[in-house]
């Protein structure tokens, strides 16, 4: 019996609005759920090293065990099946497949076996795998050898070879590939702010190495070049027999002017979108080059593409992969005419939770930066579609909720995650509305399946539709009510 009555709801008119072959499910990342960090031949990643460095993770935790999905992946697939999903987006651990990472380094057959069995288990339950090659975990050996993405000449062949192994091994069964997850977040959090691996920043009070003024742009450039090489390789060597799609997934939240009547604030909001999104989307989906606003601020610190590289990068994604969570109000940080510090990596912006009229960007979650902002999500969908005109795959979207840090077993309203349900209802509803308005949207992946190890936040952020008892040996899972809500909502929205 259905728990939610959508036929007598504000969403009644959206029934069947999503295409019959619409993919929906949940997204995860290997470092956050697998555990088994050094088991069965896996090599250390940069995140393994970070987690074992005192002071780098807010709760001093590691992902050594995470949610133990390496051991319990079959149970997780059954859980997803009970949630009604038809697709699952997960990432491969590069250092589980090639422990030392390099183009001439040996492949770890135990790692291949694990992912092969996971893919087979998904297919046996009629769940379509969406596979991400890179979700932030560089093999530490490549960092030790040549500082990984800071040396594109050495890094690109290593990443291309890793991708080739994956296509050759899994491509007969995997038809949906993503090269990089959020290359911009990876570059800025790891090489500008420094809180993420490999902990590089100009802030010498916290980090021993790095240059915030240059390294994020070098790393972003390396990701674009290596992504494009992998895309072209797949298209030329594998697509004609494997019949798959391949692309890149980009992060980006909506930015609105703090004062909607101020030309300066309107320009700041556009610049925010270009620094965060068009940084990668323009080279791949648009002009083939970086936005003019970035070049104007960064000058020669922003790398340049050769004509040949532009042609390789441009059009190197079959879809627009969208990770998005919230919206912000923005304005200039440094007034016009004053010099912008070279360490500024966001486009000279100041953020606000309210606009000039005192309107809030949305309801608070359990994560400082994340507020429920479906109004911004709707605007973002239109902005991306109008600018790039390629099919949109929503590859991450979700929220934390207050009050979920309780002892196990979680009782009462902890599993009745009303805040998360309201978030999904609003955001997924905007997806359906956007489709009725002519935007080509083909997937939605909620973040995330399980409460997990949330990078440098450790176990302090719970994003899952499944509550996890991190203190129990088996990391016991407890479904939250949002999982049932999403199951019924997508049943209502997807055409039969």
Catalytic (active-site) positions? 182, 396
Instruction: Report the greatest alpha carbon distance in the chain.
Output: 64
* Closest-CA residue to 221 (of 348, 324, 306, 144): 306
Concatenated DSSP letters of 156-222:
HHHHHHHHHHHHHHHTTT--EEEEEE-HHHHHHHHHTS--STT---S-TTT-SS--TTTHHHHHHHH
CB of 374 closer than 8 Å to CB of 429: yes
Concatenated DSSP letters of 284-341:
HHSSSS--HHHHHHHGGGS----HHHHHHHTT--SSEEEE---EEEEEESSPTTSPPP
CA angle 433, 439, 442 (to 5 degrees): 90
285 token code pair: 């989906």
Q: Which residue has the tokens 């300066």?
A: 264
Q: Cα(298)–Cα(295) distance, rounded to whole angstroms?
A: 5
Q: Cα(324)–Cα(321) distance, rounded to whole angstroms?
A: 10
Within 10 angstroms of residue 444's Cβ, the number of other Cβ atoms is: 28
* Closest-CA residue to 261 (of 348, 326, 338, 355): 355
Strands 327-332 and 254-257: parallel
124 token code pair: 């046996």
Q: Cα(393)–Cα(320) distance, rounded to whole angstroms?
A: 6
Within 10 angstroms of residue 208's Cβ, the number of other Cβ atoms is: 8
Phi, psi (deg, nearest 5) at residue 275: -65, -35
Partner residues linked to 332 by β-bridges: 349
CB of 415 closer than 8 Å to CB of 462: no
Q: Cα(219)–Cα(242) distance, rounded to whole angstroms?
A: 30
What is the three-state SS of 422-434? Answer: HHHHHHHHHHHHH
Query: 3-33 b/e with 16+ CB inside 10 Å = b?
Result: ebebeeeebeebbebbeeebbbbbbbbbbbb
Which residues 6+ apart lie within 8 Å of 413 measured at CB?
403
């Amino acid at each position: 019996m259905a728990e939610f009555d959508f036929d007598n709801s504000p969403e009644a008119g959206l029934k069947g609005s999503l295409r019959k072959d619409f993919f929906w499910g949940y997204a995860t990342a290997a470092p956050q759920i697998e555990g088994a960090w050094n088991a069965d031949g896996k090599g250390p990643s940069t995140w393994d090293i970070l987690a074992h460095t005192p002071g780098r993770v807010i709760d001093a935790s590691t992902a050594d065990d995470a949610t133990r999905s390496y051991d319990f992946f079959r149970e997780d697939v059954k859980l997803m099946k009970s949630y009604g999903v038809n697709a699952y987006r997960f990432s491969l651990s590069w250092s589980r497949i090639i422990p030392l990472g390099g183009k001439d380094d040996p492949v770890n057959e135990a790692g291949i076996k694990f992912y092969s069995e996971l893919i087979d288990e998904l297919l046996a339950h009629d769940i379509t795998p969406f596979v991400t090659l890179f979700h932030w975990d560089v093999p530490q050996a490549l960092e030790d050898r040549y500082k990984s993405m800071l040396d594109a000449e050495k890094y690109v062949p290593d990443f291309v070879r890793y991708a080739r192994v994956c296509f050759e091994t899994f491509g007969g069964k995997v038809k949906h590939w993503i090269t990089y997850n959020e290359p911009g977040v990876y570059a800025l959090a790891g090489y500008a702010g420094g809180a993420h691996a490999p902990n590089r920043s100009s802030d010498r009070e916290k980090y021993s190495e790095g240059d915030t003024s240059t390294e994020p742009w070098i790393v972003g450039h390396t990701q674009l070049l290596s992504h494009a090489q992998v895309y072209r390789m797949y298209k030329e060597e594998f697509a004609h027999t494997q019949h798959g799609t391949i692309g890149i997934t980009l992060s980006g939240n909506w930015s609105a002017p703090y004062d909607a009547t101020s030309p300066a604030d309107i320009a700041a909001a556009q610049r925010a979108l270009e620094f965060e999104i068009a940084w990668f989307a323009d080279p791949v989906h648009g002009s083939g080059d970086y936005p003019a606003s970035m070049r104007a601020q960064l000058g020669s610190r922003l790398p340049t593409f050769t004509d040949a590289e532009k042609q390789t990068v441009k059009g190197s994604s079959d879809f627009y992969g969208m990770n998005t969570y919230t919206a912000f109000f923005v304005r200039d940080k440094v007034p016009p005419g004053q010099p912008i510090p070279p360490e500024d990596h966001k486009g000279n912006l100041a953020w606000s939770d309210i606009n000039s009229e005192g309107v809030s960007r949305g309801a608070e979650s359990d994560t400082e930066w994340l507020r429920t902002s479906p109004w911004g999500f709707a605007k973002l969908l239109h902005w991306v579609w109008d600018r790039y005109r390629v099919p949109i795959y929503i590859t991450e979207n979700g929220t934390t909720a207050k009050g979920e840090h309780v002892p196990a077993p979680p009782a009462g309203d902890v599993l009745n995650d009303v805040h998360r349900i309201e978030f999904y209802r609003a955001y997924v509803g905007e997806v359906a509305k956007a489709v009725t308005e002519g935007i080509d949207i083909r997937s939605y992946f909620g973040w995330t399946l399980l409460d997990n190890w949330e990078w440098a936040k450790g176990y302090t952020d719970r994003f899952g539709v499944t509550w996890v008892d991190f203190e129990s040996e088996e990391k016991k899972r407890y479904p939250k009510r949002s999982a049932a809500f999403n199951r019924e909502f997508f049943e209502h929205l997807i055409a039969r």
